[in-house]
Structure 1
Amino acid sequence: MLTRRHFLTASAAAAMPLAPRRLWAASTLTLGETRIDTLSDGNLVLPADFILGGMPEAEAQAIIARYGLPADQLTPPCNVTLLRDGTNTILFDVGSGPDFQPSAGKLAEALATMDLTVEDVTHVLFTHGHPDHLWGLLDEFDEPLFPNARHMIGQAEYDYWTDPETPNTIGEARAAFAAGASRRLAVIADSVRLLADAEEPLPGIIARLTPGHTPGHLAYEIAGPAPVMILGDCIGNHHVAFERPDWASGSDQDPALAAATRAALLDRLAADGHTIIGFHLPEGGIGRVERGGAGYHFVPG
């Protein structure tokens, strides 16, 4: 049976204007013996053009205004998914760590609200290698922060970030992303498990290739009578990505491929009624997709 409850609401995410309220442990789903929580790693602070750049300006600003968001700066939340099945304690992504933005990197504090420590985590499954998902991998001594965890990432994603040519081809604006990912993945190179599309890294968890935001981006489907799709960034916000999934976004490394992936996935999710968990979606990121107008809407809950 699928249920949801809100709990442990904390105060503001960071001492800066426009920062959203942080929900340390925002939402819970129970699926039989499995419990899924979303934990806040804080939020990002981005110029609006990072997401809206290249979109029809007047139409994009009209969408942003409907959601009550500022025209020049966006502060998307960062929702790390925690799954516990009685045996395993699994994180999907690990947040930013201390080296990306001061408003993010709060996962250890969120875990503490659940009476968990980094030693309790048995598996880490990465959606992709961007800083807000991967850079929390290492501690201050450049050792894996989750010492007892088995780490897993898509084969194509790993190959991309560890390719010595990537820093030369990713573009100047993302060059630091490449350097940071390569350094962190090198630490776990001898033990990381590399995943293929449709592979089951753990029983009942299916990796789904959802490329475009990054070359080997994976979403993860939690199978069962009421399936759940952990999206990562293949659907990266609750406004333009839903209302106009066909629009290319500046946040995606391959904007055309990402738009095609997003449109097809939203169509499937709306038709199937799956619960979704989005890394940058509001209210803890848990909800569902509904058709609306020419596009879709995110419905929390």
Structure 2
Amino acid sequence: MRTAHEPDPSKIFISRRQFLAATSVLASAPLWSWPAFAATPYTFSQGDFEILVVSDGELTLPASLLAPDAPPEELKALLEITGQGPEQVTAATNPTVIRAGDDIILVDNGSGNKFQPTAGKLVENLKGTGIEPESVTKLVFSHAHPDHIWGTLKGDGILTFPNATYYVNSAEWDFWMAPDILTKMPQAFHDFARGAQRDLAAVKERAVMMKPGDDIVTGIKVLDTAGHTPGHISLEVAGEDGLIIVADAITHQTVFFAHPEWRSGFDVIHDLAAQNKKALLERAATDKTRLLGFHWTYPGVGHAERKDGAYRFVAAT
């Protein structure tokens, strides 16, 4: 019998057929150049912490992978709100730096040079703010998907952030490092698993296993937002009305605010992901909590407001 956080192998991710059909849309898509996606680092204060959103670039994916079960016309209308067409979606990638006393904490390290050519810009952009990779003291993985963890190693196999302590949810570690992981997902996603195992193994000697409820430092708490992956976490940062670094618990700021019940094609445990999306949005709307989304239009910072029985995203000004 599976536990609530254990995925059903028959329903994990989308099917190989769906994946291949969707990715064929990108075959004729132009490879956009990085300068079009350059973003000035976005900084704000949160209680005792300084928050810095530093772009890793952008990713392109088929719209049909974003929400595979969504009615096409409704999905099209929601994508138009962010100026996107019905065939493909451009997603920001927004790693976050938190300055906490003497600590420089990085939340996710992007995809390095291993995923899409329009991403992998994090180190360059960190240096542009005066942060050298060697100065990062703590690195928190929200989960082990390529765009969040594949920046772990440089091309020579050396750690990109050599002095960091790496924080990984033990449930996420156990899922990806399981010897039978390849039997739990379509072949189209086997590279995801191999990359996760490569990068998690690389930080094993510097890793701290964490769980929801733990503090990274005083004032930064780990939240359970499992579903996108079995060990997906978000971070709650204290101060004022609070800040939640959402990561991929909510992957699009119009689509899943309006329909938190819709599944993402990359969610592992669909029902749990939907449950946690709704809970996160309800809490944020009630408490006026600031939100920061990894894939929301840069810099991805704003609030949730109730609208028509669901929610809408209000960007920070």
TM-score by shorter chain over 0.5: yes
**Equivalent residue number for residue 259 of structure 2:** 244
Equivalent of 1:85 in 57, 75, 100: 100
Distance 2:124 2:31 in 1: 16
Query: How far off its partner does 1:85 sit?
Result: 2.3
Contact (CA 8 Å) 1:279, 1:285: kept in 2 or not?
yes
Distance 1:21 1:300 in 2: 19
Query: How far off its partner does 1:236 sit?
Result: 0.6
Choose 204-213 or 50-59, whichever is displaced more.
Answer: 50-59
Distance 2:219 2:103 in 1: 12
1:140 maps to amino acid: G
Q: RMSD over aligned Cα, in angstroms? A: 1.8
**Equivalent residue number for residue 240 of structure 2:** 225
User: What is the CA deviation profile of residues 249-295 of structure 1, one whole-angstrom value per residue up to 9, with x for unaligned ones?
Assistant: 21212222211110111111110111111101113011111111231
**Equivalent residue number for residue 310 of structure 2:** 295
Contact (CA 8 Å) 2:281, 2:311: kept in 1 or not?
yes
Equivalent of 1:184 in 190, 199, 204: 199
Aligned pairs, number: 287
Question: For residues 168 and 20 of structure 1, do their structure 2 counterparts lie closer, same or farther at Cα, with a shift above 3 Å needed?
Answer: farther
**Equivalent residue number for residue 291 of structure 2:** 276
Q: Tell me the secondary structure at the aligned position of residue 216 of structure 2.
A: coil
Q: Tell me the secondary structure at the aligned position of residue 190 of structure 1.
A: helix
**Equivalent residue number for residue 117 of structure 1:** 132
Query: How far off its partner does 1:141 sit?
Result: 1.9
Q: Are residue 126 (structure 1) and residue 141 (structure 2) matched?
A: yes
Distance 2:229 2:289 in 1: 23
Contact (CA 8 Å) 2:133, 2:162: kept in 1 or not?
yes
**Percent sequence identity over matched residues?**
37
**Equivalent residue number for residue 8 of structure 1:** none
Query: How far off its partner does 1:50 sit?
Result: 1.1
2:38 maps to amino acid: R
Question: For residues 19 and 169 of structure 1, do their structure 2 counterparts lie closer, same or farther at Cα, with a shift above 3 Å needed?
Answer: farther
**Equivalent residue number for residue 23 of structure 1:** 39
Contact (CA 8 Å) 1:20, 1:43: kept in 2 or not?
no
**Equivalent residue number for residue 163 of structure 2:** 148
**Equivalent residue number for residue 38 of structure 1:** 53
Contact (CA 8 Å) 1:213, 1:252: kept in 2 or not?
yes
Higher relative contact order structure (alpha carbons within 8 Å, sequence separation ≥ 6): 2
Query: How far off its partner does 1:66 sit?
Result: 3.5
Contact (CA 8 Å) 1:93, 1:134: kept in 2 or not?
yes
Contact (CA 8 Å) 1:19, 1:75: kept in 2 or not?
no
Q: Under a length normalisation based on structure 2, what TM-score does the superposition of the two structures give?
A: 0.86
Q: Tell me the secondary structure at the aligned position of residue 223 of structure 2.
A: strand
Q: Are residue 196 (structure 1) and residue 229 (structure 2) matched?
A: no
Contact (CA 8 Å) 2:57, 2:92: kept in 1 or not?
yes
Distance 1:120 1:136 in 2: 16
Contact (CA 8 Å) 1:64, 1:71: kept in 2 or not?
yes
Question: For residues 255 and 17 of structure 1, do their structure 2 counterparts lie closer, same or farther at Cα, with a shift above 3 Å needed?
Answer: farther
Contact (CA 8 Å) 1:283, 1:300: kept in 2 or not?
no
User: What is the CA deviation profile of residues 37-83 of structure 1, one whole-angstrom value per residue up to 9, with x for unaligned ones?
Assistant: 10000011101111121222222222223332111011100001001
Unaligned runs of 5+ in 1: 1-13
Query: How far off its partner does 1:17 sit?
Result: 8.0
* Greater share of residues in strand: 1
User: Deviating runs (4+, > 6 A) in structure 1?
Assistant: 17-20
User: What is the CA deviation profile of residues 133-170 of structure 1, one whole-angstrom value per residue up to 9, with x for unaligned ones?
Assistant: 00001112212111111100101001111111111112
Q: Under a length normalisation based on structure 1, what TM-score does the superposition of the two structures give?
A: 0.91
Equivalent of 1:76 in 52, 67, 91: 91
Q: Are residue 267 (structure 1) and residue 278 (structure 2) matched?
A: no
Distance 1:135 1:77 in 2: 16
